[in-house]
Amino acid sequence: MLQNHFTGHGDNEGGRYFDRLYKNFNKDIKDYAGKLFRGNKADKEDFLQDFYIKLYELCHQQDFQEFRNARAYLLKMVRNSWLDYQESMRANKKKLERYLLDAGDALTATDFEDIPTYKDMLKLRSAAENAIHPIRWREIFCAIVEGEKYAGIAARMGLTSDIVKTQVYLARQAVRKFWEEQCI
């Protein structure tokens, strides 16, 4: 997929240079990224797409020159990009933990009457279901509850991961709107 998107753009010097790097070092880059991600295919593929986009843009910068040991330089770029990725994941995890702590504190501080009832939860589910296309909502929610990633859901349903992300976003937006209306 990436090869079709990026290669063949060799009409300028940067494009030709990217073509050469991609054709010569693609296997090494994928193997190294596989070791770094230890079998997590969806994250590895997302990471590689972002990495190749960065490399493509870097090859088109005018001050970017060819270097002697391209393989070592590319693997170093992969490692540094992976470290950046890990740092962003840690930051997101800390935000989530802080959010859960705050939500737990808020829940313990609320009165018993303010805690949502089963009926409220059914209304909440209904609001989320109505935001998603009626054919897809059950499959998407079941897959998310099972812990499946967007790419896996998309592959199973024959959709793109962007469509799945949009559907989940719309459902979450409906849930937030419902909570705001209920003043919870």
Residue 122 has pLDDT above 50, yes or no: yes
d(CA 117, CA 8) in angstroms, rounded, equals 59
pLDDT tens for each residue of 63-100 = 555 666 676 777 777 888 877 777 777 777 777 777 77
**DSSP assignment string, the chain:** -HHHHHTT-TTSHHHHHHHHHHHHHHHHHHHHHHHHHTT-HHHHHHHHHHHHHHHHHHHTSTT----S-HHHHHHHHHHHHHHHHHHHHHHHHHHHHHHHHHHHHHHHHS-GGGS--HHHHHHHHHHHHHHS-TTTHHHHHHHHHTT--HHHHHHHHT--HHHHHHHHHHHHHHHHHHHHHHT-
pLDDT recorded at residue 1: 44
pLDDT tens for each residue of 7-65 = 455 457 777 778 888 888 888 888 888 888 776 787 788 888 888 888 887 777 755 55
